[in-house]
Amino acid sequence: MRVAIVGGGITGMSVADTLAARGISCTIYEQDSVVGGLAGSFRVNGTYLEKFYHHLFTSDTAMVEVIQRLGLGDKFHWLPTNNSYYAGRLYRLSTPLDLLKFTRVSLIDRIRLGMLYLRTRFVNDWHPLEEITARDWLVQMAGKNVYHAVWEPLLRSKFGRYADEVAAVWMWNKLKLRGSSRGSKQEERLGYLEGGFGQAIDAWEQDLRARGVEFKLSTPVSRIVAENGTAVGVLANDELQRYDRVFATVAPELLLQMAPDLPAEYRGRLEQIKYLANVCLVMSLDRSLSGTYWMNIGDPEIPFTGVIEHTNMQRKELYGGAHVVYISRYLDHEDPLYQMSAEEILDQYMPYLQRMFRGFQRDWVKQTWAWRERYTQPLIGLRYSSLKPSFRTPLKGLWFSSMAQVYPEDRGMNYAVVYGRRAAEEMLAELPQAGPEGSAA
């Protein structure tokens, strides 16, 4: 059996990994010149750095297992990190004591905010949270004052005009993830591969190649070709390549463009799944901005979502002494900022950075990079499970795994591994029989 995998991100690599283990011949088609997708990297003073900030939570066991299997476990570390909240001034929010000092709300509201974090751990059935918006759920759980002072600015910063449509299940999962990475002393620990996750992507690619997986890089698929209601291959570089199965690991909108033979009812469901884009400005600085790793922005006047100072988790010496900072913004892809250069984005952000960080000057910034991706955050609205696509599409022989199906969990490297594997295993379970070497007959 021969399988075409459209998309060389972590999901596509996980699909290939699972199928290759059963002796199935796989070919990955990737439009970029390298694999990795949203986990792709570039180099800062010779060291890999992700284009979009990445770390792992302690519950992210699948990606940790991949790293260990590839022989990189000695470089992977669980590291203490800290968080803060900016709203006119900086509030540290890493420990219960920090929460008690969070004077943006009253003492009773601080207690309500702390209880919210605790109560999320005891939610065993998330299905009722599909029926209520994050806004209404947060008001119920912590009160209007806490919602308006803390959560509303964060939701609007990330989701913009869609903020009031986000389902509580998305918010609950975010709170649960952060809570799961806190130890007995309530200190958050996040996982990172010293020298960058790009090392794992490279090693995984070489491992898959050694196991017979073929990579066609810089090779976009323009169409998934169907005959008589069955996917029979892909059209790439104006040439039809025939396969027994096709696995798409792209955003739903891209699948719709590639597979015009999908039936109308299925297409209508996929069309309802919307994504936000992201622009990530990365700066190499000659000094630190603050002592915070992860800074959420709760000031509605500031036009970005978060400031992540990577070298408050990793040693700056790994990057030639540079202090590395990400500035993240989620937005509609029609927003003019989506097309701006790194220098133009920095120009837009300068007044706000100078307001936030005392003494900040343009000459602190030694290099800038701007990375953008059209499909980064699925919009999780009410009753999203009714829209969530199955791995098997109505087009026979066409399978589908994407961030849109990582639900109720949220996107990330770990669940790209998990859901790619699940989708491949579901396909394997439907094969009619196996050959003598364990490959599909």
- Fold of the domain built from segment(s) 2-39+197-273+387-429: FAD/NAD(P)-binding domain (3.50.50)
Q: Are 246 and 224 in contact (CB under 8 A)?
A: yes
Contact between 158 and 330 under an 8 Å Cβ cutoff? The reply is yes
pLDDT value of residue 219:
98
Rg (CA), the chain: 22
* Structural tokens at position 111: 């207690």
Strand intervals (E) in 273-354 = 275-285, 294-297, 306-309, 323-331
DSSP-derived secondary structure letter, 350: H
- The CATH class for the domain spanning 190-194+275-378 reads alpha beta
CB 207 within 8 A of CB 70: yes
Q: Which two tokens stand for residue 365?
A: 């910034």
Question: Residue 375: what pLDDT?
Answer: 97
3-class SS of residue 358: coil
Residue 167 burial by CB count (10 A; 0-12/13-18/19+): exposed, middle or buried?
buried
Tens of pLDDT, residue by residue, the chain (441 residues): 999 999 999 999 999 999 999 999 999 999 999 999 999 999 999 999 999 999 999 999 999 999 999 999 999 999 999 999 999 999 998 888 888 899 999 999 999 998 998 888 888 899 999 999 999 999 999 999 999 999 999 999 999 999 999 999 999 998 887 665 555 455 789 999 999 999 999 999 999 999 999 999 999 999 999 999 999 999 999 999 999 999 999 999 999 999 999 999 999 999 999 999 999 999 999 999 999 999 999 999 999 999 999 999 999 999 999 999 999 999 999 999 999 999 999 999 999 999 999 999 999 999 999 999 999 999 999 999 999 999 999 999 999 999 999 999 888 999 999 999 999 999 999 988 644 444 443
Place of tokens 């040439």: 239
Instruction: Give 36's strand partners.
Output: 9
- Each domain of the chain, given as residue ranges in start order, spans 2-39+197-273+387-429, 95-159+167-179, 190-194+275-378
Give just the sign of the alpha carbon dihedral 70, 75, 80, 86. negative
